[in-house]
Structure 1
Amino acid sequence: MPRTGELRGLDGLAQAELVAKGELTGRELVEAAVERIETWDGDLNAVVIPHFGQALAELADGPEPAGGPLHGVPFLLKDLGPSAAGIEATLGSAFMAGYTPAAGSELVERFRRAGLRVLGKTNSAEFGVLPTTEPRFHGPTRNPWDRTRSAGGSSGGSAAAVAAGLVPIAHANDAGGSIRIPAAACGVFGLKPTRARTPLGPSVGDLMNGLASEHVVTRSVRDSAAVLDAVAGPAVGDPYWAPPAPDSYLAATLRDPARPLRIAVSTAPAAGPVDPECVAAVERTARLCTELGHQVVWTEPSVGFADLADPFLVVWAAGVSSAITAAGALSGRTPVPELFEELTWSLYEQGRAVSAADYLLAVIRLQQAARTLGRFQEDYDALLTPTTAGPAPLLGSFAQGGTDQQMARAVEFVHETPLANLTGQPAMSVPLQWTAAGLPVGVHFTGRFGDEAGLLCLAAQLERAQPWAQRLPELRAETSCSR
C-alpha cells in the first residue's frame, strides 16, 4: 500500500485508480490526506475550515460503494462561491464568521457525484477582491515554494494545497484571474472554463454580468479534464449556457492536436511592466510550441486590459457590493466597516454609488471589446501571454498605501487575465516554466469561445513534452487547522 508521502505526488485519477483496483479504500485516501494537512498545513495556512470528522464519518467501514470517476479522491472547496450544506462559509471575512448554509450548491453536488470527498475549505481573499490570499480574518496563505511569498489569489489556498500535495484537486473560481493567477504563483494547472460551462445555481444565475466561472486547480491536465467532464453542463433555470461540450474532455488530453495550431504570442505590457522572468517564460514556451510543430505568430489584439480597466472596475465594484449585500441578507447581518478590510469596504461603497446607467454603459463597453477580441481570435487557435506581470510577490505587497494604490497594484499584477472573463473565453495557466530562483512562472493561453477541449489537448501535449507534476516543494511539519 502506498504511504502518505507517496500519495502526495499522485494526481487524482491515479489515486482513484488505486481505489478501483482495491489497493486502497476511499477511507484510506481520505485518512492519508487528513494526515498530510495536519502535518504540513500549519506552515502554509491553506486549509482554514477543516471538515475532517464529518468527511470520515461519511466513510464508515464496510464495502466500498460504487462511485464516479474520481471516487474516493480527497478534495477541498474554496471558502468563496458555491455552498456546502453544514460547512461554514465565511467568504474570507469576519463579517460572515460562523455562518453555515443549510443547503448546498449544484456544483458541489456534482463534485460529490464524481466521487470527490470534501475535507474542508481553503483560504480566499476577502470576497475575492485581490490577486493574493492574505485575508485579515484567516491570515495569509504562504506559497509552498517560498514562505515569504504570496500564493496568489483569490484561490490561493486551493492552489497552495494542490502544489504542496495535500490534495490532488481543489475547487477554485475566477472572475478576473482567480483560478489562473494562483495556479501560476504555485506551479499548478488552472483552467477557467468558457462562460456558463459550469453551473452557479441555484442561488444565482450569473455573477458580475458573467465574469465569474467555477472549476478547479489540479496537479495534472487530465485531472482538470476529468472534473470538467463530471461537472459541465447547464442546471435547471440557468439564464444561458455554453456551446455543447464534446463527449469527453479527458479524451482530448490523450491525443496531440489533429493539426498544427496557429498560436498568437505577446509579451506586451498591459497596465504596467512585465518582469523579465515572465517574458522569458513566454519566449521559451513559444519555442517549445514551435518545436512541437505549431505556427507561432508574434502579435497582439488591438485592445488590452489597460484599455478596459475602468469599465471592468465599475462592474467589479458593483459585483463586490452586491455580493456583500446578498451575504448580509443570507446571514441576517448588516455590513459595517469594522468587519471588512479597507479595500473591500471601499469597493462596497463604490459599488453602491454606481448608477444603473453607468453600470450598463460599462457592460456595453466590455461587450464591444469582447467582439474585437473575438474577431482577433478567429485567426488563432490560442493566444499565449504571461499569466501575471511577475512571479509570486512578497507577502504584504498589496497592502501598501491607500485603497487606490492597492487596486492599481492589483490591476498591474493581473496583467491580461481579466480579458477572458469579459469575453467569456476559456483560458488556462500552464506551469511550464521556473525562475532562476526556483519560483514557478505560469504561461497563459486563451482559447476560442467554447473550445476548452482545444486548450486541454494543447496543455496535455505540453505536459508530455515538459512534465511538471513530479516537482514538489519541501514542507515543514507544523500543527495546522487551529481554528
Structure 2
Amino acid sequence: MTPRVHAFGDDALGDLDSVGVAAAVAAGDISAREAAEAAIARAERVNPLLNAIQRPDYERALAALAAEPAGALAGVPTFVKDNTDVAGLPSDQGSLAVRARPAPAHAPFTEQLLSTGLTVLGKSTMPEFGFNATTEYATLPPTRNPWHTGYSAGASSGGSAALVASGVVPIAHANDGGGSIRIPAAACGLVGLKPTRDRVAAAAEAASLPIDIISNGVLTRTVRDTAHFLAATQAYRPAPDLRPLGLVEGPSDRRLRIGLILDSVTGIPTDEDTRKAVLATADLLGSLGHDVMEVGLPVDHRFMEDFKHYWALLAFSTQHFGRQVMGPDFDKTLTDPLTRGLARRFVRQAWRTPMAITGLKRSTRAYRAAFDDVDLIVSPTLGYTTPELGYLSPAVEPFSLMFHRLVQYAAFTPLNNASGGPAISLPLGRSSADMPVGIHFSADHGDEQTLLEIAYELEAAQPFARIQD
C-alpha cells in the first residue's frame, strides 16, 4: 500500500487553491472545462487508492459548462457530501440501508454553494448517516487518508477531506453535526471552519431537530479559500440576526486575549503529540504578541453525557423512522453496528431525553460566557492523533469499546455544535508518525472574522505542510 497519495501535477489545476483557479479562469489562462477535466483525471488516478467518491457525475458537470459559470469561485471544480441533495443525484447517506432516488431539487445550501460558481463533479463519501468520526464501514472498503493510506481520513466529511488533501479539487463541501468539518480537516491537514449557527443555509433536516447542531461549510487547503467562500455565501444570502461578514483578506493588527484549553470534558488527558502541538501553537501566538492564558472548560462532564444521549436519539430516530424520512425503500436491517448500538443506547436511557435537550440548550449561555474575558479559545481539535484504519471502525466489538474510543477522539468539537458557536481547525501540528494534527480555535457567535484573521496570521507565520512536498 502506498503511504502517501496525491494527484498534484502539471495540468490546468497545478497546485492552485480555489481562488487561484478562479482567477486563472477569469483571466482566460484556463477554461472552466479544462479545470473540470483536470480534476476528473486526478480523481480517476487517485480515487481507486482513496475511495473518496460516492458517485461521480462527470458528464453532467461538463455538459453544464456550456453555459459560462459566474460567481466568486466560477469554474472551480468541487464535490458535495452525500447527505446533501444535488438535483438529479441520489443522497445515499453513506448507508447500505438507504436506496435513494435522484433528488428532485437542490437543497437550500446546495443553491448557496452553486451561487459561488463552483462546478459540482459528484458526491463524496461519508460514514453511515454521519454518526462516526471516521469514514469507515462495517462491510465496505474505507475512505483512506492521503497523507498515509493506512490511516483514517476522519469524518463525517472524510471523502471531501481526502479529495481536497490529495489535490483532486481545491475545495469541497462538508457539514458538521459534532465536528464533521473540523475532524477531517485535522486528520487530513486542511482548513475547516464550522460557521455560526444560521450563518449559512440550514441543513434540510434541521427543521425537525429539537436542537439544530448541523452547520454547512467547506474544506480547503488555504485560509483565503475558506474566507472567499464564506464571503460569497453572505453575498448570496446575508445571515439574519448575525454580525455582517464581508471578505476577510488578511490578519488584523489587533492583539488578542486567547484562552488555552488542553484537556476535554471527558477527564482523560489529551495524548502527548496533540498536547505538544497545542502548546507549540500557544508559544507561536505569544511570539506574535497575543496574550495566551489557561482557562477553565465552559462546561462540565454533564455536557458530554447530554451530547452522547442526543447522538443516540438521532440514531434511534433514523433506525426506527427511516422509512418516513428517507423513503419506503429504507431497510433498517442493513444499518451498521454503530447506528444500531446508538439506537439501543437511547432505548435504555430514553427517560433522560428532556434533561439532555435542556442541558444542551443551556450550553449556549455557558459557551458565550466563556468569551467575556477572552477573544478566542485555542484547544486541540481532537483528543488524540489520527488513528489507523480499523481503530474506530463500526465493526469494532463490543459496541461499548468502539463508542468509548469515539467519544474520546471527538470530545472537543461538539460544544460548538450544541451552542451554535463558530470554530476553525488549522493544520499547525505534526504527530510523531508524521501525520497532521489540527489546532482548534473557537469564537463568540457571529465572530468568524476574528477566526479568519488569526488563521491568516498563523498560516503566514507557520505555512501549512503540503502533501506534494
- The TM-score with structure 1 as length reference comes to 0.89
Cα deviation for residue 321 of structure 1 reads 3.3
Structure 1 pair 439/422, CA: closer, same or farther in 2 (3 Å)?
A: same
Matched, 1:37 2:43: yes
Count how many residue pairs are aligned between Structure 1 and Structure 2: 459
User: Do the aligned residues in 1 keep the contact of 2:319 with 2:339 (CA within 8 Å)?
Assistant: no
Q: Could you tell me which residue of structure 2 aligns to residue 441 of structure 1?
A: 437
Q: C-alpha separation between the residues in 2 aligned to 1:352 and 1:283?
A: 41
User: Do the aligned residues in 1 keep the contact of 2:206 with 2:214 (CA within 8 Å)?
Assistant: no
Partner SS for 1:57: helix
Cα deviation for residue 331 of structure 1 reads 4.4
Q: Could you tell me which residue of structure 2 aligns to residue 466 of structure 1?
A: 462
Cα deviation for residue 387 of structure 1 reads 0.6
Q: Identify the range of structure 1 (13-22 vs 397-406) with the bigger mean alpha-carbon deviation.
A: 397-406
Q: Could you tell me which residue of structure 1 aligns to residue 5 of structure 2?
A: none
Matched, 1:106 2:101: no
Letter in 2 for 1:266: I
User: Do the aligned residues in 1 keep the contact of 2:425 with 2:440 (CA within 8 Å)?
Assistant: yes
User: Do the aligned residues in 2 keep the contact of 1:197 with 1:234 (CA within 8 Å)?
Assistant: no
Structure 1 pair 209/455, CA: closer, same or farther in 2 (3 Å)?
A: same
Q: C-alpha separation between the residues in 2 aligned to 1:22 and 1:421?
A: 41
Q: Which blocks of at least 5 consecutive residues in structure 2 are unaligned?
A: 1-7
Q: 379, 385, 388: which is aligned to 2:379? A: 385
Cα deviation for residue 415 of structure 1 reads 2.5
Render the CA deviation track for 1:301-348: whole Å, top value 9, x for unaligned: 2524x4322211222222233345665225432654431101112323
Letter in 1 for 2:25: V
Q: Identify the range of structure 1 (323-332 vs 285-294) with the bigger mean alpha-carbon deviation.
A: 323-332
Q: C-alpha separation between the residues in 1 aligned to 2:329 and 2:337?
A: 17
Q: Identify the range of structure 1 (258-267 vs 34-43) with the bigger mean alpha-carbon deviation.
A: 258-267
Q: C-alpha separation between the residues in 2 aligned to 1:472 and 1:425?
A: 31
Q: C-alpha separation between the residues in 2 aligned to 1:54 and 1:4?
A: 25
Structure 1 pair 92/123, CA: closer, same or farther in 2 (3 Å)?
A: same
Q: C-alpha separation between the residues in 2 aligned to 1:430 and 1:124?
A: 21
Q: C-alpha separation between the residues in 1 aligned to 2:127 and 2:231?
A: 28
Alignment of 1:281-320 (within 5 A): 281-304=277-300, 306-320=301-315
Alignment of 1:224-373 (within 5 A): 224-232=226-234, 241-246=240-245, 248=246, 250=247, 252-254=248-250, 256-271=251-266, 272-304=268-300, 306-323=301-318, 327-333=322-328, 335-351=330-346, 358-373=352-367
Structure 1 pair 377/257, CA: closer, same or farther in 2 (3 Å)?
A: same
Structure 1 pair 154/208, CA: closer, same or farther in 2 (3 Å)?
A: farther
Partner SS for 1:243: coil
Structure 1 pair 208/152, CA: closer, same or farther in 2 (3 Å)?
A: farther
Render the CA deviation track for 1:237-257: whole Å, top value 9, x for unaligned: xxx9551322x1x3x232x22
Structure 1 pair 104/321, CA: closer, same or farther in 2 (3 Å)?
A: farther
User: Do the aligned residues in 1 keep the contact of 2:115 with 2:236 (CA within 8 Å)?
Assistant: no
Partner SS for 1:214: strand
User: Do the aligned residues in 2 keep the contact of 1:195 with 1:241 (CA within 8 Å)?
Assistant: no
Cα deviation for residue 200 of structure 1 reads 2.0
Structure 1 pair 232/358, CA: closer, same or farther in 2 (3 Å)?
A: farther
User: Do the aligned residues in 1 keep the contact of 2:144 with 2:153 (CA within 8 Å)?
Assistant: yes
User: Do the aligned residues in 1 keep the contact of 2:12 with 2:30 (CA within 8 Å)?
Assistant: no
Q: C-alpha separation between the residues in 1 aligned to 2:42 and 2:223?
A: 23
Q: Could you tell me which residue of structure 2 aligns to residue 209 of structure 1?
A: 211
Q: C-alpha separation between the residues in 2 aligned to 1:424 and 1:105?
A: 21
Cα deviation for residue 89 of structure 1 reads 1.0
Cα deviation for residue 439 of structure 1 reads 0.6
User: Do the aligned residues in 2 keep the contact of 1:196 with 1:234 (CA within 8 Å)?
Assistant: no
User: Do the aligned residues in 2 keep the contact of 1:378 with 1:448 (CA within 8 Å)?
Assistant: no
Partner SS for 2:392: helix
User: Do the aligned residues in 2 keep the contact of 1:105 with 1:200 (CA within 8 Å)?
Assistant: no
Q: Identify the range of structure 1 (341-350 vs 426-435) with the bigger mean alpha-carbon deviation.
A: 341-350
User: Do the aligned residues in 2 keep the contact of 1:79 with 1:124 (CA within 8 Å)?
Assistant: yes
Q: 80, 88, 91: which is aligned to 1:89? A: 91
Q: Identify the range of structure 1 (150-159 vs 131-140) with the bigger mean alpha-carbon deviation.
A: 131-140
Alignment of 1:111-190 (within 5 A): 111-136=113-138, 138-190=140-192
Q: Identify the range of structure 1 (424-433 vs 260-269) with the bigger mean alpha-carbon deviation.
A: 260-269
Cα deviation for residue 427 of structure 1 reads 0.6
Structure 1 pair 22/329, CA: closer, same or farther in 2 (3 Å)?
A: same
User: Do the aligned residues in 2 keep the contact of 1:194 with 1:242 (CA within 8 Å)?
Assistant: no
Q: Identify the range of structure 1 (100-109 vs 329-338) with the bigger mean alpha-carbon deviation.
A: 329-338
**% identical equivalent positions:** 37
Q: C-alpha separation between the residues in 1 aligned to 2:237 and 2:313?
A: 25
Q: C-alpha separation between the residues in 2 aligned to 1:103 and 1:315?
A: 29
Render the CA deviation track for 1:344-398: whole Å, top value 9, x for unaligned: 123235456775x743321211233332232122211111111111221010102
Q: Which blocks of at least 5 consecutive residues in structure 1 are unaligned?
A: 475-483
Q: Could you tell me which residue of structure 2 aligns to residue 67 of structure 1?
A: 70
Q: C-alpha separation between the residues in 2 aligned to 1:183 and 1:55?
A: 26
- The TM-score with structure 2 as length reference comes to 0.92
Q: Could you tell me which residue of structure 2 aligns to residue 78 of structure 1?
A: 81
Render the CA deviation track for 1:21-52: whole Å, top value 9, x for unaligned: 00011000000000000011111111121111
Partner SS for 1:300: coil
Letter in 2 for 1:454: T
Letter in 1 for 2:15: G
